[in-house]
Amino acid sequence: MKSNIQQYRQKLLAEQQLTVIKEFDTADKENSHKDVTLCQNSAGQQLILRIGETRPLIFFPDGWQGENIYIPTVIFAGKIKKIPYEIEEFVAGPLLSDINNKTAKTGKIQPDLLAKLIASFWEVQEICRKLPLESKFSSQKIEKHFILAQKILSKPNEIEKIMSRNNKFWSKLYPSKWKFALDNLILTANNKIALIDNAKVGLRYFGYDLGWLVWPLWLEMEEKNYKKVAAHISYLEYFCKLVQKKRATSVKPPLDFNYVFWLIIFERIIGAAYDIVNNTKYLKKLSEQKIEKQRQFLNSLMKIVTEKISY
């Protein structure tokens, strides 16, 4: 399939009179059948060509610029041999992961950036809540992850009880970008956060995107910080208060927000543990020693989180 995707790329480049400037490693990182390139047309305009996965056309095809976020315009969308593709406006600017590079080693996001990201999360909730987005999540996915994750998580029976007790939470769905992570967001020249790679926009449990601002940094932490669980919990408590402070009044979470926040972290711990057991592709670059320290960190984190949501 990958070779077919590359063949389709060559055909589209010729048809659209595009020249490749840069190939992104999307397929290698995600082990998926898609191809993303930065291209240039005959007029010198830079564009993104994405093949294999495209955003839902209901999701602001003409773009969007709000107080905090920027959504690029889809210039053209079509299919080649039943494979979807899109040509999208290129958004210049640094990835937020590059801006936060030093702070990431502590498992945190620098305060000014975190505040802007949280404001962006609420803006997405507001502008998308009336869009007819498709459901992209079910509680069965958590259960599937848990089957493997419990191999390295302590007290799996207690974890399973919390999962079952909160079935209604998982099933009540809200707008979600997916991969609302620092390496998938761009800071524009006018200080907006640009949402790129919007193929999996849809409905998921409340706060799903907030979890993506937390768990990827667990992989980037320096090994010495895996022992500082109490400090990380303090950071998450600060994070929780900031989300509540910036809350959009038009959006109502399904439960008490403090409880909801720790449920989000709870689910992300299960997901991270699943990735370790499943030996997910992006973990292959990490040493066994670091992965073992991550495992210990996740268990310590889960112990505290389950205490917070066991009432």
Give the domain CATH number at 258: 3.90.1200
pLDDT band of 1, cuts 50, 70, 90: very low
In this structure, are 128 and 264 located in the same domain? yes
pTM, 2 dp: 0.92
Those residues whose C-beta lies under 8 Å from the C-beta of residue 100, and which sit 6 or more positions away, are 109, 110, 113, 182
In this structure, are 210 and 111 located in the same domain? yes
pLDDT score, position 137: 86
Which helix (H) or strand (E) segment holds residue 156: the answer is helix 156-165
Q: Work out the number of other CB atoms within 10 angstroms of the CB of residue 166.
A: 21
In this structure, are 188 and 60 located in the same domain? no
In this structure, are 72 and 221 located in the same domain? no
In this structure, are 247 and 144 located in the same domain? yes
The count of domains in the chain is 2
In this structure, are 154 and 249 located in the same domain? yes
- Cβ–Cβ < 8 Å for 62, 73: yes
Q: Which residue's structure tokens are 């998580």?
A: 153
In this structure, are 53 and 184 located in the same domain? no
With b for 16 or more beta-carbon neighbours within 10 A and e for fewer, the 5-36 pattern comes to beebbeebeeebebeeeeeeebbeeeeeebbb
Task: Give the residue numbers spanning the domain of 51.
Answer: 2-89
Task: Tell how far CA 67 is from the center of its chain.
Answer: 21
When comparing pLDDT for 242 and 138, which is higher? 242
In this structure, are 128 and 232 located in the same domain? yes
Residue 3 one-letter amino acid: S
- pLDDT tens for 160-199 read 999 999 988 998 999 999 999 999 999 999 999 999 999 9
Which helix (H) or strand (E) segment holds residue 208: the answer is helix 208-211
pLDDT at 31 over 90: no
pLDDT at 2 over 60: no
- Across the strands, what pairs with 37? 23, 49
| Exposed / middle / buried, residue 259 (Cβ in 10 Å: 0-12, 13-18, 19+) | middle
Answer with the one of 89, 104, 129 that is the final residue of a domain: 89
Task: Tell how far CA 40 is from the center of its chain.
Answer: 28
Rounded mean pLDDT, 228-257: 94
In this structure, are 124 and 165 located in the same domain? yes
Q: Which residue's structure tokens are 């609420």?
A: 122
In this structure, are 72 and 137 located in the same domain? no
Instruction: Give the closest residue to 52 by CA, choosing from 23, 83, 82.
Output: 83
pLDDT band of 34, cuts 50, 70, 90: confident
- The two tokens of residue 39 are 């291209």
